[in-house]
Structure 1
Amino acid sequence: MIRFLLALALLVVPASAQAYGFFTHEAIARIAMLNVRPETARTIRAMLRAAPPLLQTPECKAATPEQASTWPDCVRGLGERFSYTANWHYQNVDVCQPFDLKAACKDGNCVSAQIERQVKLLQNKTVPEREKAMALIFLIHFVGDLHAPPHAGDRGDRGGNDVKASYGPVTARWLNLHSIWDSPLAERAVTTPPSPFRVYSAEERAALGAGTVEDWSREGWEASRDAAYALALGEACGPKPTGPVTVTPEAIEKMVPVQRRQIERAGVRLARMLDEAFDPAKAFVPEKRPPYRGG
């Protein structure tokens, strides 16, 4: 019966589930909002309540932290208006080569560079309110994306999207290595007790939230190599599969705690980034630059 219900649930999930699961992004936003400073939480909620008329995206809601966490995926369906953001959701760092973030982030078109950019936009006193609202929403979303292993490292297969796979006994036309991590595996990690929705202790926040964005990128890349690929394929950098692969129940059991750890890290680290972004001591007015004269 459990397998039947799981299979039924997977079969009715739309193809959009291949974006890092809406459920998971919302979970990360919830963890973060439980762990930001009270003044940060008030500022965020006020900004988001005021955001809808600024954004003018009635198809895609962003009036709460949970809605904001999925807005950047939703607007990718609005055609050319937001097509420029497509490369900001991931970074294809080769898991079979030494870690090289610079090569994967040319011109800032990758998720880690965009996280740092959104923080600076929020700290910049001269940025208009509409751009600040978008920066806040993108920051909430991108910290989640960075902690999804297939968004942080791959084998030249679009983050596992090109690797058709089954989730234990369950098969569906939209399932692949990427979507398994984005949806059923992530949802299992979040719903497995104990609940991740709590206020973490100062010691936990210090441990989970430590490091730089580059450090977090490396961790995600390692998780992609050692869990997403190695556990699914037997070895991370062996021959590429020529047909569908089966992510076995045994592999899933080992993947769940990795995914759970990444989600908790994402929530606590997002809280840290939001506190820093809205810290009055870090606000700045950029130095004036000489007028642009073309050429």
Structure 2
Amino acid sequence: MMRLLILVAMLTGLASPARAWWEYGHETVATIAMTSVQPETRRAIHRLLARSDLMETPTCPARTIEQASVWADCIKTLKDRYSYAFNWHYQNIDVCRPFDIKANCPDGNCVARQIERDVRMLKNRELPLRVRVEALLFLVHFMGDLHQPLHAGDRHDRGGNDMKADYGHVPNSNLHSIWDGLLAERAISTPVDGPKGILAEVPVAERPAMKQGTVEDWSRESWQVAHDAYAALLGDACAPVPANRPALDNAKVAALIPVLRRQVARGGLRLARLLDEALG
């Protein structure tokens, strides 16, 4: 029976990441953005999403902002059609060296530069409608990716995928999966009220300041949070990988929940700003 319980816990740990930040986090960022944009921007978004059929990806619908937020991950299942976009989801900038986005974004193939490119295309009303719809779908997703810290910084370990770790009672995970999955699920749903609850934690007077800055500024900020994520696990973000698998205990998890919730709020409010600038 004990072996069975451990196996169930392990399988739960493996399954959760695919449906936590991957869906839950992205959808929450998108919903916060949609409730924060100007009315005319919201109407423009609806008009573009109404033509998402132009993408010809029936297995990856994008008729709502929530569907749009995960479209860029869904199309990975289409393999060769979108294989060129794989590197656009992240920028693994070394958290143990000075921040340098240029050295980690060859030929614009990283999440920050693609966000900037998508905004430019979305603004350009002379581009074909299909191109602008695609730019919207990528933009909504990539702003979620940028604010998942392990998409913004790492220790040359594939965004923390190679940093083995335990999460509470769930063994045999890794740092990326924890932030993508178990921690994200717990943080976004703690307390209740979903996107509305996360947005309510940011005072209205503070929201304009949170929206300020450039995509590179936001990249540096998420990179710093990634540094702190390693520090929370190891004590020192740049310490050697320990012989024994490190763990995030309940106290560490409790301290990280507000950090992750704030990342989601930042992503949603900043996405709203970019959408207003492009479509308002």
Alignment TM-score > 0.5, same fold:
yes
Residues 160 and 59 (structure 1 numbering): CA distance in 2 closer, same or farther, change over 3 Å?
A: same
Q: TM-score, normalised by structure 1?
A: 0.86
- The DSSP-based 3-state class of the residue aligned with 1:21 is helix
Deviation, 1:167, is 1.2
Deviation, 1:247, is 1.6
Residues 95 and 18 (structure 1 numbering): CA distance in 2 closer, same or farther, change over 3 Å?
A: farther
Paired AA for residue 25 in structure 2: T
Q: Which runs of 5+ in 1 are unaligned?
A: 280-295
Partner of residue 89, structure 1: 89
Partner of residue 192, structure 1: 190
Residues 81 and 244 (structure 1 numbering): CA distance in 2 closer, same or farther, change over 3 Å?
A: farther
Deviation, 1:210, is 1.5
Write out aligned runs for 1:194-209 (5 A): 195=193, 196-197=195-196, 202-209=204-211
Q: Which runs of 5+ in 2 are unaligned?
A: none
Partner of residue 32, structure 1: 33
1:212 aligns with 2:214: yes
After TM superposition, where is structure 1 displaced by more than 4 Å over at least 4 residues in a row? 7-10, 198-202
* Counterpart-to-counterpart distance in 2, 1:243 and 1:219: 30
Deviation, 1:204, is 2.8
Partner of residue 140, structure 2: 140
Maintained 8 Å contact 2:161/2:175: yes
- The DSSP-based 3-state class of the residue aligned with 1:166 is strand
* Counterpart-to-counterpart distance in 1, 2:209 and 2:189: 22
- The DSSP-based 3-state class of the residue aligned with 2:99 is coil
* Counterpart-to-counterpart distance in 2, 1:68 and 1:97: 35
* Counterpart-to-counterpart distance in 2, 1:32 and 1:92: 25
* Counterpart-to-counterpart distance in 1, 2:19 and 2:237: 21
Q: Percent identity?
A: 53
Q: TM-score, normalised by structure 2?
A: 0.90
Deviation, 1:240, is 2.3
* Counterpart-to-counterpart distance in 1, 2:244 and 2:124: 49
Partner of residue 59, structure 2: 59
Residues 242 and 107 (structure 1 numbering): CA distance in 2 closer, same or farther, change over 3 Å?
A: farther
- The DSSP-based 3-state class of the residue aligned with 2:32 is helix
Partner of residue 118, structure 1: 118
Partner of residue 222, structure 1: 224
* Counterpart-to-counterpart distance in 1, 2:190 and 2:203: 20
Residues 102 and 193 (structure 1 numbering): CA distance in 2 closer, same or farther, change over 3 Å?
A: same
Maintained 8 Å contact 1:18/1:179: no
Paired AA for residue 169 in structure 1: H
* Counterpart-to-counterpart distance in 2, 1:243 and 1:46: 53
Partner of residue 236, structure 2: 235
- The DSSP-based 3-state class of the residue aligned with 2:247 is strand
Maintained 8 Å contact 1:166/1:246: yes
- The DSSP-based 3-state class of the residue aligned with 1:14 is helix
Maintained 8 Å contact 1:159/1:178: yes
* Counterpart-to-counterpart distance in 1, 2:126 and 2:192: 43
Residues 39 and 205 (structure 1 numbering): CA distance in 2 closer, same or farther, change over 3 Å?
A: same
CA RMSD of aligned residues (A): 2.1
Paired AA for residue 223 in structure 1: V
